[in-house]
Amino acid sequence: LEQRGKQADYFPPVKTPMLPADTFKGKVALVTGGGTGVGRSITMMLSQLGAEVTILSRKLDVVKKTADEISSTTNNNVLALQCDVRDHTCVRSCVSECITEMGLPQIIINASSGNIIAPTERLSPNAWATVVDSTLTGTANVITDVGKRLISAHQSAVFLNISAAYALSGSGYVTPSAAAKAGINALTKSLGSEWTKYGMRFNAIALGPIFTKKSAVLREEAFRLLDTAGEFQTHLSERISIGRVGETEEVANLACYLVSDYSTYMNGAIVQFDGGEANFMSGEFNQLQSVSEENWDMIEDKMRRTK
């Protein structure tokens, strides 16, 4: 599914950490959704750069395997905990365990989310609640629990939330996810104003298409039936102006920058990370890129002669 446009050769992904070694030495990070996909890559890079990381996921076997793989690669401690972020009591006990084992985190990254690709009229109240609670409420549960403890301890911290590019435009067929991610953007900006007095800053990354096993399966499932002519495969890379889908390690490099001391001037920002997709899709004349030189000659000629 992840086909490339010709221009993609100009924009190869770099997957190695850009920050200096030991950037996060002595720091404790908490990453929700750290078992797979974007959360896993972020955890790997934080750990490569010296952080001790606690990762939370609903699936204990998945998160444990990830923690083992990462700590054996980086030689840094990774703690895996089972947590349904929708449940604030579960969040509270996991944060307590993180504090006992590693300390109160200075870096908090919310990467867990739920999504159902479906016509909105097919969603039951529970389906709606499942997506919104695992995305927006889960993020709020983690931020408020850790935030209150940070305030009591007079400790500063940086928060990063994973949002979606479609939170701004909205998107059909992922309506609860779009609404929840828009909520995450508002949460990020609100607390980026309110809690700086406690030494906390907040940013979000609004992701466009990123290649993960799960997103590839979701896309494939959702579009397979529509896509008998292979049209969507072509369309995906054609929507993205750099001509390819993003890689999780690229997100990790941006995430690490945003939670490092190199970015202390960044606060309340929603960083669009989509290969130029949103601008490209909304710019009225961008589709003209497929017009040939000969046709431009004709168009120019006609336009110059039109008085």
Q: Which residues are catalytic?
A: 166
Say whether residue 113 binds ligand HXC (CB under 6 A).
yes
Per CB under 6 A, 116 contacts ligand HXC: yes
What minimum distance in Å lies between the beta carbon of 116 and ligand HXC? 5
CB 55 within 8 A of CB 35: yes
- DSSP secondary structure string, 221-268? HHHHTT-TTSHHHHHHHHHSTTSS-EEHHHHHHHHHHHTSGGGTT--S
Closer to ligand HXC by Cβ: residue 19 or 218: 218
Specify the 3-state DSSP secondary structure of 12.
coil
For 150, the enclosing helix (H) or strand (E) is helix 138-153
Is residue 215 near ligand HXC by the rule CB under 6 A? yes
205 belongs to the binding site for ligand HXC (CB under 6 A) = no
Q: Residue 33 in contact with residue 57, Cβ under 8 Å?
A: yes
Asked if 31 contacts 264 with a C-beta cutoff of 8 angstroms, the reply is no
| Binders in 156-185 for ligand HXC, by CB under 6 A | 164, 177
Q: How many helices (H) and strands (E) in the chain? A: 12, 9
Q: Which residue of 100, 126, 228, 282 would you call a contact of ligand HXC, by CB under 6 A?
A: 126
Q: Candidates 3-11, 24-32, 119-127, 257-265: pick the segment binding ligand HXC (CB under 6 A).
A: 119-127
CB of 214 vs ligand HXC, minimal distance in Å: 4
Judged by beta carbon, residue 147 or residue 176, the one nearer ligand HXC is: 176
Looking up tokens 């947590």, which residue turns up? 83
Q: Which tokens go with 244?
A: 């390819």
Name every residue whose Cβ is closer than 8 Å to that of residue 269 and which is 6 or more positions away in sequence.
Answer: 192, 203, 204
Among 6, 122, 302, 304, binds ligand HXC (CB under 6 A): 122
Q: Does 197 bind ligand HXC (CB under 6 A)?
A: no
Nearer to ligand HXC, 215 or 272 (CB): 215
Residues engaged in binding ligand HXC (CB under 6 A)? 113-116, 118, 122-124, 126-127, 130-131, 164, 177, 214-215, 218-219
